[in-house]
Structure 1
Amino acid sequence: MQAILVEELTGPDAAKVTDVPEPEGAHPRAESERLLVEVHAAGLSFIDPLQTRGKYQGGIAPPYVAGSELAGVVLEAPDGSGFAPGDRVGGIVWQGALAERALALPDYTVKLPDTMSFAEGASLYMNYSTSWFALHRAGVQPGETFLVHGAAGGVGTAALDLASAFGARAIAVVSSDEKAEVARRCGADEVVRSDGPWLDEVRALTDGKGVHVVIDPVGGDRFTDSLRSLRIGGRLVVVGFTGGSIPEMKVNRLLLRNLTVTGIAMDVMEREQPGTLRLVRDRVQGLADEGRLRPLVGARFPFAASADALRSLEDRSAVGKVVVEVRPEG
């Protein structure tokens, strides 16, 4: 079968269309549960270009098949998994999605509603499970206000879309007029620009008190101002570091204003609190079944242009989810 293989860690240009063997056994994280999917679309995230350079903390050595998320049709499923051949599914795989067939993980896979395209399905689970878990870990309550950085990206747009499910007000931080429009379409109540006095604007929008929660997939230089944007007793959730650098902080900021900073990693939490993965999956599945999730497909690339798709994430030109159409729909 054909796949996008990365044979050296030199960046997106290393991703090439290559003939590779059919997937054998089960996904390395699936505990011998073989869930084989015919891939129709692959979704990319910030971890994909990082892995092509060996910079992702959960990455693997080359050669490897790229692609962190997929959508397609189940070919084989283990007993008791809840899946069966013919099911339309989407899920996280970390590596391997950019191929004609791929191994998936039952705990990180959901069934797609009939109304959802494969491109949307490849934009669903990673972003929405991450955003839902971040809002859940932050304890967002109805009537509270949260701020999300990188709000036109995959995690950001999902968080904005989830605001109504949590009954919360959402403030989006973006870097351009185009991204501001995307954020508004995805449910932002207010939008501020990262290249302007966004902290002052956020304070003005919250009557000088600040927001209850910050969802931060960006990190970098704005982290300190994110802490400043919180009201007393506020909570900040660290999702990732797409800004390129891991911030440090003076913990007296937490002490003096009763702030809480937490990270999220569902698989790690599963080891400490079994049932975490099922909780997240069931919540995302339920919202999808109710028709309340609207994944934003920001850009579509043909299979042969997978390196271009990876590059669009690395140069931060992408909005929403970047999708590679392995088998074009229609």
Structure 2
Amino acid sequence: MSAARIHRMGSPEAIEINSVDTPIPAPGEILVAVYAAAVNFPDTLMIAGQYQVKAALPFVPGHEAAGVITAVGDGVTSHSPGDRVAVLAPGAFAEYLVAPAGAAVPIPAEITFAEAAATWVCHLTAYHALRSTAEIRSGDNVLVLGAGGGVGLAAVELAASLGARVVAAASSSEKLDAARRKGAHATINYTEGNLRDGIRAALGPGAIDAVIDPVGGPHAESALRELRWGGRFVTLGYASGEIPRIPLNLILLKGAVVKGLEIRTFAHHDPQNASRDRDEFTALWRSGRIRPLIHARFPLSQAREALELVTNRSSIGKTIIEVVSDYTISSEEH
């Protein structure tokens, strides 16, 4: 099979398209023919050797895919060959991948492979952050930083669906336009003015119930300072490349709750809420109320270009690597 592989840490230029053996599913695993895979910002950090977990070289990047099961390992009864599934597993930028059977969920008939691949990681991360970590309630004021990226835009859409009043902050008018289309009540371009001033103009001082932050960097502290007393701040990642140092006295004075969410380990540490969130999100997804914004598509041979688009923060919503092009383009795409 063909696979995009990394033989040395660095930039997306390190990607090579190689011919490798098709994997065989072990007991409890499934083999999936990949139709589409989504590029996420952590993929770029992993390639650069800057992610929290280092992958052994050589490796196939990508963790989010959708396709058709072609074989199952011993003991698998939950899935069968021919099933259309979305999968959260490493090695997604290839024609086939193996994954634990529990890492796959059925794709509703009306959902394309591209939409399925573009939904699972970012939307489920955002749902866990909102539902279990920040414990969002209807009527809450929620600030989403990095609202034009995959997780940020998903958080805007899902927070609005939970009844929150969403303020979206991002770095361009195009990203903020996308956030408004996904339900943001107010928007802030933090390259054109002071973030705190923008928050106060939208909500008044100290009015934020929860912050969802997948970006880190200099805006994290400004957002924290505008929490109401007892507000919640959720850190999801550091797409800015800068891990913020927060003065602890702010936590004391605000009575704030600061929590982290790491999608790879959340289900292990909190299986009860993870299962509840997954069921709720899957039902919401199947209802058609949640649809990802797909910015661009690339063939597997151009995996390097797809990753460069995300690395340069030029992608609004999700960028897709399509391995098999047999589905129609969604009306949500640019």
Q: TM-score, normalised by structure 2?
A: 0.92
1:253-290 superposed Cα distances (whole Å, 9 cap, x missing partner): 01111111000124434334333442332122111122
Q: CA separation in 1, counterparts of 2:180 and 2:298?
A: 25
2:92 matches 1:97: yes
Q: CA separation in 2, counterparts of 1:25 and 1:75?
A: 10
Read off the aligned partner of 1:207 and give its amino acid letter: G
Q: Offset of 1:62 from its aligned partner?
A: 1.1
Correspondence for 2:115? 120
Give the one of 135, 138, 152 matched to 1:156: 152
Correspondence for 2:249? 252
Q: CA separation in 2, counterparts of 1:106 and 1:118?
A: 18
Q: Offset of 1:44 from its aligned partner?
A: 0.9
Structure 1 segment 279-294 matched on structure 2, within 5 A: 279-294=276-291
1:197-219 superposed Cα distances (whole Å, 9 cap, x missing partner): 22112112213232100000000
* Kept after mapping to 2: 8 A contact 1:124/1:295: yes
Q: Offset of 1:301 from its aligned partner?
A: 1.0
Read off the aligned partner of 1:21 and give its amino acid letter: D
Instruction: Mark the runs of 5 or more structure 2 residues left unpaired by the alignment.
Output: 328-334
Q: CA separation in 2, counterparts of 1:100 and 1:165?
A: 35
Q: CA separation in 1, counterparts of 2:23 and 2:289?
A: 34
Give the one of 36, 40, 61 matched to 1:41: 36
* Kept after mapping to 2: 8 A contact 1:37/1:76: yes
* Kept after mapping to 2: 8 A contact 1:108/1:281: no
* Kept after mapping to 2: 8 A contact 1:297/1:323: yes
Cα 1:83–1:11 change in 2 (3 A) is same
Correspondence for 1:29? none
* Kept after mapping to 1: 8 A contact 2:25/2:71: no
Aligned length: 324
Larger deviation: 121-130 or 279-288?
279-288
Correspondence for 2:13? 13
Read off the aligned partner of 1:123 and give its amino acid letter: A
1:225-267 superposed Cα distances (whole Å, 9 cap, x missing partner): 0111211111010000000011111111011111110001244
* Kept after mapping to 1: 8 A contact 2:25/2:72: no
Cα 1:36–1:80 change in 2 (3 A) is closer
Correspondence for 1:222? 219
Correspondence for 1:143? 139
* Kept after mapping to 2: 8 A contact 1:110/1:281: no
Q: CA separation in 1, counterparts of 2:120 and 2:80?
A: 19
Cα 1:320–1:259 change in 2 (3 A) is same
Q: CA separation in 2, counterparts of 1:214 and 1:106?
A: 34
Q: CA separation in 1, counterparts of 2:40 and 2:320?
A: 9
Q: CA separation in 2, counterparts of 1:304 and 1:156?
A: 28
* Kept after mapping to 2: 8 A contact 1:112/1:288: no
Q: Offset of 1:329 from its aligned partner?
A: 2.2
Q: Offset of 1:143 from its aligned partner?
A: 0.6
Q: CA separation in 1, counterparts of 2:174 and 2:266?
A: 36
Q: CA separation in 2, counterparts of 1:99 and 1:254?
A: 45
Q: TM-score, normalised by structure 1?
A: 0.93
